């Protein structure tokens, strides 16, 4: 069943990528997201599972589809937590910039953290950093530790960081330590996942980003054997109450990769929307479209890259409408 589901989730992310890619570079951020949401939601109806959205487009009163708590699948399958981001990097799609992806992560019921829509301090590395780096350590300390475990010099390391004013001190410290910095405008899920690929050119991720995106990245890094840590950033009383609902009594608690993505099996799937460090974006040639996707399983450690050719004129009419053909 899990093998079958892995490929089904690729079909889900492919549909979202095809739909949103039609609007790539046209400055229509919300429209690109809406197109991906509709296509992803429709494809979920065909999947043999009894799923529930734990990370999605927002609360029930905020999103018409893929809202938190929405039931997904045809109910003929396992009960699963489902985390989605139909367009991870809506600004990237709108501007035609690299590294926009469509993402799905699933795990048996109760495994994925129901992360609220708030900020999270994050630290991500590949397998060699697992159990070595820590959010309780400074960026300089973590860089030195990682350099030692990777048999590199600190000068050889590349840290990826969201280009935000709140990260200025981190950026300065990383540069002072001697490491190189790769600044990104959006899309820290793809950036965190890249730390798990030795060929990606990035070694560690620092900074504060969305908590839901932290769970998605943790799911992928669990499959890759990497490290992901998070610490929720509380900004007001409503967020403090949300933590209590999650049974998190210490706001300074470091959430490890198992807190974020469980200890049971995890499946992660993503399809490139625009060209990126990990995946190529969608290509359209008349009635043909080409996609590149990745699907991973934590239980087996299997990572599959899938290159697909889609004959758009042979798709059902409803599907053609969803992907703008």
DSSP string for residues in 125-139:
E-GGGTTT--TTS-H
Q: What is the pTM of this model?
A: 0.94
Same domain, 133 and 232: yes
Boundary of a domain, candidates 242, 260, 278: 260
Same domain, 210 and 282: no
Spell out the residues 6+ positions from residue 266 whose beta carbon is closer than 8 angstroms to its own. Answer: 105, 106, 107, 111, 219, 222, 223, 297, 298, 299
Question: Does the annotation place 188 within a ligand binding site?
Answer: yes
Same domain, 246 and 127: yes
pLDDT at 292: 98
Same domain, 306 and 189: no
Question: Does the annotation place 212 within a ligand binding site?
Answer: no
Question: Does the annotation place 85 within a ligand binding site?
Answer: yes
Closest to 70 in 3D by CA, of 82, 78, 88, 87: 82
Closest to 107 in 3D by CA, of 308, 306, 268: 268
Same domain, 125 and 102: no
Same domain, 241 and 304: no
pLDDT at 239: 83
Question: Does the annotation place 250 within a ligand binding site?
Answer: no
Boundary of a domain, candidates 220, 240, 260: 260
- Residue 166: give the domain boundaries: 119-260
Question: Does the annotation place 264 within a ligand binding site?
Answer: no
Same domain, 41 and 139: no
Q: How many domains does the chain have?
A: 2
Q: What is the mean pLDDT of residues 277-299?
A: 95
Q: What is the mean pLDDT of residues 216-240?
A: 93
Question: Does the annotation place 136 within a ligand binding site?
Answer: no
CATH number at residue 294: 3.30.540.10
Q: What is the mean pLDDT of residues 221-235?
A: 95
For residue 100, list its beta bridge partners.
none
Same domain, 97 and 166: no
Question: Does the annotation place 90 within a ligand binding site?
Answer: yes
Question: Does the annotation place 242 within a ligand binding site?
Answer: no
- How confident is the model over 204-214, as pLDDT tens digits? 999 999 999 99
Question: Does the annotation place 304 within a ligand binding site?
Answer: no
Report d(CA 55, CA 189) in Å as an integer.
14
Question: Does the annotation place 165 within a ligand binding site?
Answer: yes
pLDDT at 315: 84
Split at pLDDT 50, 70, 90, the class of 193 is very high
- How confident is the model over 47-79, as pLDDT tens digits? 999 999 999 998 877 788 999 999 999 999 999
CATH number at residue 160: 3.40.190.90
Asked whether 51 and 84 are in contact (CB, 8 A), the reply is no
Question: Does the annotation place 61 within a ligand binding site?
Answer: no
Boundary of a domain, candidates 232, 260, 288: 260
């Amino acid at each position: 069943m899990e093998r079958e589901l892995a490929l089904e989730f690729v079909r889900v992310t492919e549909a979202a990528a095809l739909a949103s890619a039609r609007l790539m570079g046209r400055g229509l951020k919300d429209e690109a997201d809406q197109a991906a949401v509709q296509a992803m939601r429709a494809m979920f109806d065909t999947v043999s599972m009894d799923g529930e959205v734990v990370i999605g487009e927002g609360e029930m009163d905020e999103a018409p589809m893929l809202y938190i708590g929405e039931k997904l699948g045809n109910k003929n399958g396992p009960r699963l937590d489902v985390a989605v981001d139909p367009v991870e990097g809506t600004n990237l799609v709108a501007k035609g910039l690299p590294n926009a992806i469509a993402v799905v992560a699933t795990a048996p019921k109760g495994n994925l953290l129901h992360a609220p829509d708030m900020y999270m301090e994050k630290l991500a590395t590949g397998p060699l950093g697992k159990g070595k780096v820590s959010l309780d350590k400074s960026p300089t300390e973590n860089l030195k530790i990682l350099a030692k475990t990777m048999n590199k010099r600190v000068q050889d390391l590349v840290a990826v960081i969201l280009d935000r004013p709140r990260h200025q001190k981190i950026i300065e410290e990383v540069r002072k330590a001697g490491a190189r910095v790769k600044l990104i405008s959006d899309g820290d899920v793809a950036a965190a996942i890249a730390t798990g690929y030795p060929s990606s050119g990035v070694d560690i991720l620092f900074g504060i980003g969305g908590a839901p995106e932290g769970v998605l990245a943790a799911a992928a890094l669990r499959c890759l054997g990497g490290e992901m840590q998070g610490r929720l950033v509380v900004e007001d009383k409503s967020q403090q109450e949300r933590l209590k609902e999650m049974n998190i009594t210490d706001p300074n608690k470091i959430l490890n990769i198992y807190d974020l993505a469980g200890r049971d099996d995890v499946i992660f799937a993503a399809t490139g929307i625009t060209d990126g460090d990990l995946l190529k974006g969608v290509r359209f040639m008349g009635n043909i479209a080409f996609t590149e996707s990745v699907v991973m399983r934590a239980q087996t450690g299997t990572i599959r890259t899938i290159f697909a050719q889609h004959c758009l004129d042979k798709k059902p009419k409803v599907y053609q409408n969803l992907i703008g053909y």
